[in-house]
Amino acid sequence: MIQGEPVLITYCPLCATGIVFERKVDGAGQEFGVSGKLWQSNLLMYNRASDEAAVRDYGRDPYGDYYTSEPVSFGASFRDTRLHPKALVVGIEIDGKHKAYPIEALKIGNTSDTFAGKNVLVSKDSAGRISITIASAGLPHITSFWFSWLAVHPDTELFQ
């Protein structure tokens, strides 16, 4: 719960994303689980009221060398050669336009950029934490693997 509101916090190890959702459906709080199903190698949640839960061993990593290998598999296709498919990027949206910042390309400190007619400031501290602001106001962003960001935002611009 955040300020009394039920939320769903997810993490997908296949695309390296964590996202928070409001978990109300038609005004009623719901409980969700991991379905074991994927879309473009991204996990899909299910409403536990549908009773489709499968038993899983969450104590072991079932993906082996997935994080370092080139193939993205699990139903995702990837043909972009600008970055390794599993390079970590920070993605933003401004006025319906999308841009990704490769974490490895961001130096410690501040990086100034212009995107969608706005002056964007990307800050990375020595621990690797990233914040993005426009005119001193925080801008929501998502960290994910490059292939995952591109699957959802195929027309994204890439910071270089």
DSSP sequence for 64-117:
TTTTTSS---TT------SS-TT-EEEEEEETTEEEEEEGGGSPSEEEEEEETT
Which bin fits 53, alpha (ψ -120 to 50), beta or left (φ > 0)?
Answer: beta
Low-confidence ranges of the chain (pLDDT < 70): 51-63, 71-77
Mean pLDDT of the chain: 85
The pLDDT of residue 111 is 97
The pLDDT of residue 75 is 61
| Torsions phi, psi for 152 (to 5 deg) | -90, -30
Distances (CA, A) of 38 to 41, 76, 146: 5, 9, 17
The amino acid at 8: L
Q: Are 23 and 31 in contact (CB under 8 A)?
A: yes
Per DSSP, what are the bridge partners of residue 102?
A: 89
Give residue limits of the domains in the chain: 7-50, 88-158
The pLDDT of residue 55 is 60
pTM above 0.75, yes or no: no
